[in-house]
Amino acid sequence: MKKIVLFSLFCLISTSTVISQNAINPSNLKIDKAFIFPEKYTMNMFFIVDSQKIPMGKIHTSLVKVNENIAIITKLQMPNQTDGQWIDSTVVNSTNFKPLYHSSKNPQREMVMEFGKKITGYYKDLMTGSKTQILETTIEPFFDSNFYPYLIRLLPLEDEYATAIYMFDYNPKSKIGIMKATILDTKSSEIDFNGKERKIWVVKTTNDISDNKFITTFYIDKTTRQTLKQVTENERGQLVMERTE
């Protein structure tokens, strides 16, 4: 029994080491740029707990190419929303997806970051009025945490594909700085989506933001590389986002 446990631990450590060694960042990125195109789409968001489906709102996403940059703007629309908009904007270089700018605003807080040799900006708590200046120095190349879900669909996906993605995330109440998102596994499958059979990649991921406690699964159309569905599992249930046609 002891040998089995030790062997299992060895396999787990070996797999983790290989994934870390193969980690992708803007300096070694390999993608198919044919899947990068302007688009607008909406995803319905709901929470499933004890077989009950609770509507949470809609996420509207716009992707535009401006010169050598790509901008992604997401707007969260919640049921009976009366307290202002939830908007996130991310700008990256279109060649290597190196982050350039990120802003986020909702009724609770406002944040702006500019990426250069240093990361500068501010974080303002709109509930208390307190404002924190952001000044971070990083060494390793990274992606913006707000961009990495879009990045996943552009990777050279295949069965058993696994890797790590380094990203920057800012939250004054938790971790700050470079973090890792991990693609644990990829497999080919099919799904009935809005009455149509679609061939997809099922990509299982986790990340340091959740202390690797939650699993987020992306269901990505093989032909268009559109994310049809995204499911995050936690101890309370499932947060699901489904693309509307």
Q: What percent of the chain has pLDDT over 90?
A: 68
Express each pLDDT in 107-138 by its tens digit: 999 999 999 989 999 999 999 999 999 998 88
Express each pLDDT in 135-193 by its tens digit: 988 888 999 999 989 999 999 999 999 999 999 988 787 656 788 999 999 999 999 99
**Whole-number pLDDT of residue 34:** 87
* Nearest to 99, CA basis, from 67, 70, 123, 75: 70
Q: Any idea which residue has 């300096």 for tokens?
A: 27
CA torsion sign, 29 to 32 to 37 to 39? negative
Q: What is the largest CA-CA distance in the chain?
A: 60
pLDDT tops 60 at residue 2: no
**Whole-number pLDDT of residue 175:** 56
User: Which residues are CB-neighbours of 117 under 8 A, at least 6 positions away?
Assistant: none
pLDDT tops 50 at residue 7: no
Q: Any idea which residue has 């390999």 for tokens?
A: 30
pTM of the model as a whole? 0.86
Confidence of residue 47 (pLDDT cuts 50, 70, 90): very high
* Nearest to 169, CA basis, from 87, 104, 238, 96: 104
pLDDT tops 50 at residue 4: no
Q: How many CB atoms lie within 10 A of CB 23?
A: 15
pLDDT tops 70 at residue 17: no
SS3 35: helix
Separation of alpha carbons 182 and 19, rounded Å? 8
**Whole-number pLDDT of residue 137:** 87
Q: Any idea which residue has 């049921």 for tokens?
A: 79
Domain of residue 161 covers 2-243
DSSP state of 86: E
Count of domains for the chain: 1
